Structure 1
Amino acid sequence: MIRWFLAIFVALVLIGAVNPWLHRLGFGRLPGDIRFTLFGREVFLPVTTTLLLSAVASLVAKFFHI
Protein backbone atom coordinates (compact mmCIF):
# COMPACT_ATOMS: atom_id res chain seq x y z
CA MET A 1 0.00 0.00 0.00
CA ILE A 2 2.89 2.35 0.67
CA ARG A 3 4.00 1.83 -2.94
CA TRP A 4 0.70 3.24 -4.19
CA PHE A 5 1.04 6.31 -2.00
CA LEU A 6 4.58 6.80 -3.21
CA ALA A 7 3.56 6.35 -6.85
CA ILE A 8 0.69 8.83 -6.49
CA PHE A 9 2.96 11.33 -4.76
CA VAL A 10 5.62 11.07 -7.48
CA ALA A 11 2.96 11.39 -10.19
CA LEU A 12 1.52 14.53 -8.57
CA VAL A 13 4.98 16.08 -8.24
CA LEU A 14 5.73 15.35 -11.90
CA ILE A 15 2.39 16.73 -13.05
CA GLY A 16 2.98 19.87 -11.00
CA ALA A 17 6.45 20.26 -12.47
CA VAL A 18 5.41 19.90 -16.12
CA ASN A 19 2.09 21.72 -15.82
CA PRO A 20 3.40 25.13 -17.04
CA TRP A 21 5.08 23.41 -19.99
CA LEU A 22 1.90 21.50 -20.87
CA HIS A 23 -0.15 24.69 -20.59
CA ARG A 24 2.15 26.42 -23.10
CA LEU A 25 1.55 23.52 -25.51
CA GLY A 26 -2.20 24.06 -25.28
CA PHE A 27 -3.14 21.37 -22.78
CA GLY A 28 -5.78 22.65 -20.40
CA ARG A 29 -7.37 24.80 -23.08
CA LEU A 30 -8.71 21.98 -25.23
CA PRO A 31 -12.40 21.73 -26.15
CA GLY A 32 -14.03 19.77 -23.34
CA ASP A 33 -11.87 21.22 -20.57
CA ILE A 34 -14.24 22.93 -18.16
CA ARG A 35 -13.34 26.10 -16.25
CA PHE A 36 -15.86 27.97 -14.11
CA THR A 37 -16.10 30.13 -11.00
CA LEU A 38 -17.92 28.78 -7.95
CA PHE A 39 -18.23 30.80 -4.73
CA GLY A 40 -15.41 33.10 -5.80
CA ARG A 41 -12.99 30.27 -6.60
CA GLU A 42 -11.98 29.15 -10.05
CA VAL A 43 -12.64 25.45 -10.66
CA PHE A 44 -10.90 23.65 -13.51
CA LEU A 45 -11.90 20.19 -14.75
CA PRO A 46 -9.47 19.07 -17.51
CA VAL A 47 -11.64 16.30 -19.00
CA THR A 48 -10.23 16.26 -22.54
CA THR A 49 -6.66 16.85 -21.41
CA THR A 50 -6.93 13.92 -18.98
CA LEU A 51 -8.24 11.60 -21.68
CA LEU A 52 -5.52 12.63 -24.11
CA LEU A 53 -2.68 12.27 -21.58
CA SER A 54 -4.12 8.92 -20.45
CA ALA A 55 -4.08 7.65 -24.04
CA VAL A 56 -0.47 8.79 -24.47
CA ALA A 57 0.55 7.11 -21.19
CA SER A 58 -1.20 3.92 -22.30
CA LEU A 59 0.67 3.91 -25.60
CA VAL A 60 4.00 4.50 -23.85
CA ALA A 61 3.26 1.68 -21.38
CA LYS A 62 2.30 -0.64 -24.22
CA PHE A 63 5.47 0.28 -26.12
CA PHE A 64 7.69 -0.48 -23.12
CA HIS A 65 5.60 -3.52 -22.03
CA ILE A 66 5.06 -2.17 -18.55
Structure 2
Amino acid sequence: MNLVDIGHAVRSRRSELGLPQAQLVHLRGLSRQTLVCLENGTLSDLGVNRVGQVMAVLGLDSPKLDT
Protein backbone atom coordinates (compact mmCIF):
# COMPACT_ATOMS: atom_id res chain seq x y z
CA MET A 1 0.00 0.00 0.00
CA ASN A 2 1.42 3.41 -0.90
CA LEU A 3 0.64 6.87 0.47
CA VAL A 4 -1.90 7.59 -2.28
CA ASP A 5 -3.84 4.43 -1.40
CA ILE A 6 -3.65 5.31 2.28
CA GLY A 7 -4.99 8.79 1.58
CA HIS A 8 -7.96 7.38 -0.32
CA ALA A 9 -8.67 4.94 2.52
CA VAL A 10 -8.44 7.74 5.10
CA ARG A 11 -10.83 9.98 3.16
CA SER A 12 -13.30 7.17 2.58
CA ARG A 13 -13.33 6.04 6.21
CA ARG A 14 -13.46 9.60 7.56
CA SER A 15 -16.49 10.25 5.35
CA GLU A 16 -18.17 7.01 6.47
CA LEU A 17 -17.77 8.09 10.07
CA GLY A 18 -19.02 11.62 9.36
CA LEU A 19 -15.80 12.96 10.86
CA PRO A 20 -14.91 16.46 9.65
CA GLN A 21 -11.32 17.12 8.60
CA ALA A 22 -11.01 19.70 11.38
CA GLN A 23 -11.83 17.11 14.03
CA LEU A 24 -9.41 14.53 12.64
CA VAL A 25 -6.54 17.01 12.49
CA HIS A 26 -7.30 18.06 16.06
CA LEU A 27 -7.28 14.44 17.26
CA ARG A 28 -3.97 13.66 15.56
CA GLY A 29 -2.17 16.98 15.79
CA LEU A 30 -1.78 17.30 12.02
CA SER A 31 -2.20 20.48 10.04
CA ARG A 32 -5.29 20.66 7.91
CA GLN A 33 -3.08 21.15 4.84
CA THR A 34 -1.28 17.88 5.60
CA LEU A 35 -4.58 16.00 5.81
CA VAL A 36 -5.86 17.62 2.61
CA CYS A 37 -2.68 16.62 0.77
CA LEU A 38 -2.84 13.09 2.19
CA GLU A 39 -6.46 12.64 1.11
CA ASN A 40 -5.75 14.13 -2.33
CA GLY A 41 -2.72 11.91 -2.91
CA THR A 42 -0.30 14.82 -3.19
CA LEU A 43 1.58 14.32 0.08
CA SER A 44 5.11 13.08 -0.51
CA ASP A 45 5.86 11.82 3.02
CA LEU A 46 4.13 11.55 6.37
CA GLY A 47 6.16 9.02 8.34
CA VAL A 48 5.15 5.54 9.36
CA ASN A 49 4.21 6.48 12.92
CA ARG A 50 1.92 9.32 11.86
CA VAL A 51 0.26 7.19 9.20
CA GLY A 52 -0.38 4.53 11.82
CA GLN A 53 -1.82 7.08 14.25
CA VAL A 54 -4.22 8.53 11.68
CA MET A 55 -5.37 5.09 10.62
CA ALA A 56 -5.82 3.95 14.24
CA VAL A 57 -8.11 6.90 15.00
CA LEU A 58 -10.27 5.84 12.05
CA GLY A 59 -10.26 2.17 13.04
CA LEU A 60 -8.24 1.11 10.00
CA ASP A 61 -5.50 -1.50 10.06
CA SER A 62 -1.98 -0.16 9.80
CA PRO A 63 -0.84 -0.65 6.23
CA LYS A 64 2.06 -2.63 4.94
CA LEU A 65 3.84 0.14 3.08
CA ASP A 66 5.40 -0.38 -0.34
CA THR A 67 9.13 0.13 -0.30
Larger Rg: 1
Considering Cα pairs closer than 8 Å and 6+ residues apart, tell me whether 1 or 2 has the greater RCO.
Answer: 2
Instruction: Report the TM-score, using the length of structure 1 for normalisation.
Output: 0.30
Looking at secondary structure, tell me which structure has more strand per residue.
Answer: 1
